[in-house]
A and B are shown apart, each in its own frame.
Chain A
Amino acid sequence: MVDGAIRYTAGIYRTCRHENATQPDIKEYRKESGRNGITMNTRGLRSQLRDSVPVAGLCPQGAYGVQDSLRSGFSSVKNELLPSHPLELSEKNFQLNKDKINFSTLRNIQGLHAPLKLQMEYRAARQIQRLPFLQSSNLALDTLQGSDEAIGFEDILNDPAQSEMMGEPHMMVEYKLGLL
C-alpha cells in the first residue's frame, strides 16, 4: 500500500517536471539534458563550476612545449600530472583563492554591488601596464589590493624586475597583440 503511494507520487512528479521544464535553446544545455527524456536544469551546476578556481595543469617546461631533459630530467607521467612540491599548486593559486573567498564573503554581507564595483576597479587598474617586455610597477593594483603596505616573500625573492632574462621586444609585442 505504501509502496504504491510512493510510486504514484514519483510518477506525478516526473510528469510534472516533464511538462513544466523549459526547453533549452543553447547547444550545451541540450547536450547535458535529455538523457533519460528528463530535462535537467543545469544552471546551478554551471555556477558551481564557475566558482571553482582553475588549477592549471603542468605542461612540460621547455622551449616549444617539449620536455627539457637537461634542466628537468626525464619526463614521466607522474611528474607532469602532480606537482613535486606540496606547496606548488597552493602557492600558484593563493592570490586567486584569497580574492575568491573575500569577494564571496563581501557579496554575502553587502550584496552583489560591493564585489562588482571592486572588481571593476581591479580590471581597470590591471590594464595600466607598460609594454610587454618591460616590468610594470602595478602601482594602482597594489594600492587597491593593499599590498603596497605589506612586505612578503614575493617582494624579496625572485623579483621579476631583476630577472636575468629579457624577452625579445618585437616578439613580445607581437605575441601580446596576437599577430604572431
Chain B
Amino acid sequence: MALSNVLETPAAGFNFDNAARNAALEGLFEGGLKPKPLKTGTTIAGVVFKDGVVLGADTRATSSEVVADKMCAKIHYIAPNIYCCGAGTAADTEKTTELVSSNLTIFSLNSGRNPRVVMAVNILQDMLYRYHGQIGANLILGGVDCTGNHLYTVGPYGSVDKVPYLAMGSGDLAALGILEDGFKPDLELEKAKELVRGAIHAGIMSDLGSGNNIDICVVTRQGVDYIRPYQESEFKDNRKMKYKYRPGTTSVLTEKVVPLKLEVVQETVQRMDTA
C-alpha cells in the first residue's frame, strides 16, 4: 500500500532511480547533444621477472579532450604484497581496488595469513561479473605470495587471464609491441624495469590518452619499491608566476572587535569507569 507517511527505506547499494529519468531524457536529445560518459586513456604494463613482479603506468588522467590530472596515481595498493594497476573509468578502478583491499585485510586479520593474488582475482572476478561490465575497470594485478610471482589481468566483464607479461589501456598495443620484443623468462631486476619503462614510453608516444610521467612499482618477496615518478617527462611547463596573493593585497577598511563574554554556569565531573 503506498501511503505518503509510510516510508520504505531504499535498499542499500546502487540506486537506479535516475535510469528512468535518463531514458526519458534520451528522447529529447535526438542524437549528438547527449552527454557522453567520460573515458580516460591509459597505458599500464606488468612483467614477471626472476624475483617478483614489475608494474608500470603512466600518470595522465584525461576528461575527453582535456588533461584532468597530470600526476595521478594509477598503481593502487591492495595488500603489502599485491599491487594493482587500473585502466578504464578512474573512479571505478579506485573504488573496486579499495573494496578488494578492505576485504583482503579483513581476511588476513581473521585467519592470520597473508593474502594470495588468486584471492584478490577471485573477489574481483565475482564482483565485476555481478555488475555485467557496468563497472568499467580493466585491472592488472601483480604480487608475490607463498606460491610464487603472479601477474593477472581482470576485464570489466569478469574475464581473468594469467600471463607473464601484460599491457592494458588505450596505449596497450604500442606497449605490447615492446614487451613482445624484449620479454624473456627470469629477467633481472634492472632489465625488467627498463623493459616496462620502454613499454610505457611507447604507449605515451603513440597514444593521446597517455602521457606525462612514468610510475614503476617493484613487488618482491623482500618488499615493495614504489618509484613515483620513475621518469619525468621532458615537456614540463614552468609556471613563471605564483597564483597566491600576498597578505595585504586587499586593503582593510574598518575593523570591529566584539569580545564574547562566557561565564561558567555549572560544572559537573563524571568519572569514567575504566576498570
Q: How far is the CA of A27 from the CA of B33 in the complex (A)?
A: 59
Contact partner of A153 (CB less than 8 A), chosen from B5, B13, B21, B110, is B13
Is B130's CB under 8 angstroms from A94's CB? yes
With A73-B24, A74-B24, A153-B99 already in contact, the answer to whether A88 and B16 are too (CB < 8 A) is yes
Do the beta carbons of A151 and B20 come within 8 Å of each other?
A: no
Query: In the complex, which residue of chain A has the Cβ closest to the Cβ of B101?
Result: A151
Residues 1-53 of B at the A interface (beta carbon under 8 Å):
1-7, 9-17, 19-25
Given A86-B132, A149-B110, do A167 and B24 touch, yes or no (CB 8 Å)?
no
Known: A73-B21, A87-B131. A153 touches B3 (CB 8 A): no
A79 near B23 with CB under 8 A, answer yes
Q: Would you call A158 and B4 a contact (CB within 8 A)? A: no
User: Are A166 and B102 interface neighbours, CB within 8 A?
Assistant: no
**Chain B residues with CB below 8 A from A88, complex form:** 16, 19
Cβ–Cβ contact B2 & A157, under 8 A: no
Verify if B233 is at the interface (C-beta below 8 Å from A): no
Once bound together, how far apart are the Cα atoms of A90 and B2, in whole Å? 24
Contacts of A59 in B (CB 8 A): 2
- Contact with A63, one of B2, B15, B110 (Cβ below 8 angstroms): B2
Known contacts: A79-B24, A160-B10, A171-B3. The answer to whether A87 contacts B106 by CB under 8 A is no
Q: Are A168 and B16 in contact (CB under 8 A)?
A: no
Using a Cβ cutoff of 8 Å, how many contacts connect chains A and B?
A: 108
Question: What's the Cα separation between A172 and B16 when bound, in Å?
Answer: 25
| Residue contact A91 to B14, C-beta cutoff 8 Å | yes
Q: Which residues of A contact B12 (CB under 8 A)?
A: 154-155, 157-160
Chain B residues bordering chain A, tally (CB within 8 A): 35
A82-104 CB contacts (< 8 Å) to partner B: 83-88, 90-92, 94
| B5: contacting residue among A65, A91, A159, A171, CB under 8 A | A171
Q: Is B103 an interface residue (CB 8 A)?
A: yes
In whole angstroms, what is the CA distance A136 to B76 when docked? 35
Q: Is the CB of A84 within 8 A of B99?
A: no
Given contacts A61-B17, A87-B14, 20 further A-B contacts (CB under 8 A): A59-B2, A63-B2, A64-B4, A73-B24, A74-B24, A79-B20, A84-B20, A86-B134, A91-B16, A149-B107, A151-B106, A152-B13, A152-B99, A153-B13, A157-B15, A160-B10, A167-B7, A171-B6, A172-B6, A172-B7
Nearest 5 A/B pairs, CB to CB: A167-B7, A85-B19, A73-B24, A154-B13, A84-B19
- Identify the B interface with A (CB < 8 A): 1-7, 9-17, 19-25, 95, 99, 102-103, 106-107, 110, 127, 130-132, 134
* Subset of 9 A-B contacts with CB under 8 Å: A65-B2, A71-B21, A72-B17, A79-B20, A84-B19, A84-B23, A149-B106, A154-B12, A168-B6
